[in-house]
Amino acid sequence: MTADLAREVIALTVEHLVLVGVSMAIAVAVAIPAGILLTRRAPLQGWVLGFANVMQTVPSLALFGFLIPLPFIGGIGKHTAIIALVLYALLPVLRNTLTGILGVDPAVRESAIAMGMTGRQLLWKVELPLAARTILAGVRVATVTTIGTATIAAAIGGGGLGVFIFRGLASVDSTLILAGAVPAALIALVADGGLGWVEKKLSPA
Amino acid sequence: MALCREPVDRRPGFHREPVNTIVSFRNVSVCLGRKEILRDLSFDVEAGETLVLLGRSGSGKTTALKMVNGLLCPSAGEVLVEGTATTAWHPIRLKRRIGYVIQEAGLFPHFTVAANVGLVPRLEGWTPHDIQARVHALLDQVGLPPAQFASRYPRELSGGQRQRVGVARALAADPPLLLFDEPFGALDPVTRVELQRQFLELRRRLGKTAIFVTHDVREALLVATRIALLHNGRLAVLSTPSEFLRAQGEEARAFLACLDSNVASS
């Protein structure tokens, strides 16, 4: 591996990490509060989960393509890629937040209310701690998926390790493809392991 | 019963009860959808007594219990706690003034025993020192030595121990009134008898008022100072345990019959 290639691998890896990091931060910031809100608004659950489900069924390359012609949010570049990645990451986090909180033993919730906890105390002291592990499992799945999907961002000028893969495909150069695929796979493994470790630590006692 | 008593002005907020009535049901009905759960229920609970709500599954006894601390509200009529309608109480204040024990204890699985017992004092803003002292005293009282149990988690306890923690938790902020919703229903017979004894012992020592829901007529006769038998959401019998043994009425006979068969088989 030449020094030039090595430098580029590092640069694109960093770019990839930024894409994934920003997308996941937005997805988590949207999906967890939305999931909490949905536990209080049962009639909306079907609609919102349905939307997130549909987003997930759109093939990723197509979703990137659909976003390009849209005004404001669309176009070529990183921000379009991030929007697409966020849309993908929403569902696992949202669904796990919902199932995590709804999965809290009704007897425990009832006794929390009967002890005189306020709605906020119920959420922060009981529901979120007990759902933390499930929510984090959703974040973990979404992160690993996003790391893979982010390679497609290169198709719309989003950069990241996908740049190598598309270049390698175009020039039929498997070294280049591997230069993109191997670091992406490693990132995914590390993220999976790391979040898995945190998940164990969070296990409700 | 209300009918036997002098009429008293019970306008909400008008006054504290002159008699020592802690809880008072006034023509309470509850409907969930089109189903009527309770129908025109009226009775009083005096300070220091243990009123047992006895009935089959679906008789409305748990619903009646949940009206007292405001987990449910009456569709018609009112429930007075210390002379004030539950709907006029601040919902959080009301709940923190009433201890609540449910089947399987409903302990918080992510809290230690000490944190479970100290929950209401913590919500009420006691100092950590006071909370710890109170928790240790309570654990001693329910027969769980703090040194051994305080830092355990609920999953590390037996069913009976969990239920003891549940009782200690309900007693934590020294509430004048305690509600028990089939607290010993899921326990084996031996543990159940132990806990019933402990209940009587605590009552003798603390003199708390209690409302106790059960479907077990023996348990009712053991712990009650008065028994209210509910049948299809109506009050079928309201009497002392000794009167209850002679009660007529179909539903009372049905419960007393299962007492006979229990005796016969044991």
Can you spell out the DSSP letters for A75-137?
A: SSSHHHHHHHHHHHHHHHHHHHHHHHHHTS-HHHHHHHHHTT--HHHIIIIIIHHHHHHHHHH
The identity of residue A197, as a single letter, is W
Average pLDDT over residues B169-187: 89
Q: Which of A99, A97, A104 is nearest to A135 (CA)?
A: A97
B110-146 per-position pLDDT tens digit: 999 999 999 999 999 999 999 999 999 999 989 899 9
Residues 4-33, chain B: which have Cβ within 8 Å of A? Answer: none
pLDDT at B8: 47
Q: What is the ipTM of this complex?
A: 0.81
pLDDT exceeds cutoff 50 at B255 = yes
- Tens of each residue's pLDDT in chain A, 205 residues: 578 888 888 989 999 999 999 999 999 999 999 999 998 888 888 888 888 788 778 887 888 888 888 777 777 778 888 988 998 898 899 999 999 999 999 989 999 999 999 989 999 999 999 999 999 999 999 999 999 999 988 888 888 888 889 999 999 888 889 988 999 999 999 999 999 999 888 765 4
Strand-strand pairing, B226-231 and B50-54: parallel
Residue A74: CA count within 13 A, CB half-sphere: 9
- Whether residue B120 and residue A126 make contact (CB cut-off 8 A), yes or no, is no
Question: Using the beta-carbon criterion (under 8 Å), do B100 and A115 form an inter-chain contact?
Answer: yes
* Closest-CA distance of chain A to residue B153, Å: 7
Q: Which residues pair with B179 in a beta bridge?
A: B100, B211
Q: Taking 80 as the threshold, does the pLDDT of residue B263 lie above it?
A: no
Residues of B with Cβ-Cβ distance to A117 under 8 angstroms: 123
The whole-number pLDDT of residue B266 equals 44
| In chain B, % of residues over pLDDT 90 | 44
In angstroms, what separates the C-alpha of B250 from chain A's closest C-alpha?
33
Mutation pick from A104, A108, A111 vs chain B, by most beta carbons of B within 10 Å, is: A111
Contact state of B96 with A110 under an 8 Å Cβ cutoff:
no
pLDDT at A204: 57
pLDDT of residue B100 exceeding 60, the answer is: yes
Phi-psi region of A185 (alpha: psi -120 to 50; beta: other; left: phi over 0): alpha
Tell me, what amino acid is at A4? D
Six token digits for residue B228: 């209210």
Beta carbons of A105 and B106 less than 8 Å apart = yes
The beta-carbon neighbor of B123 closest among A113, A114, A117 is A117
Cα distances from B169 to residues A18, A115, B135, B154, in angstroms, run: 48, 9, 8, 13
B109–A118: do the CB atoms touch at under 8 Å?
no
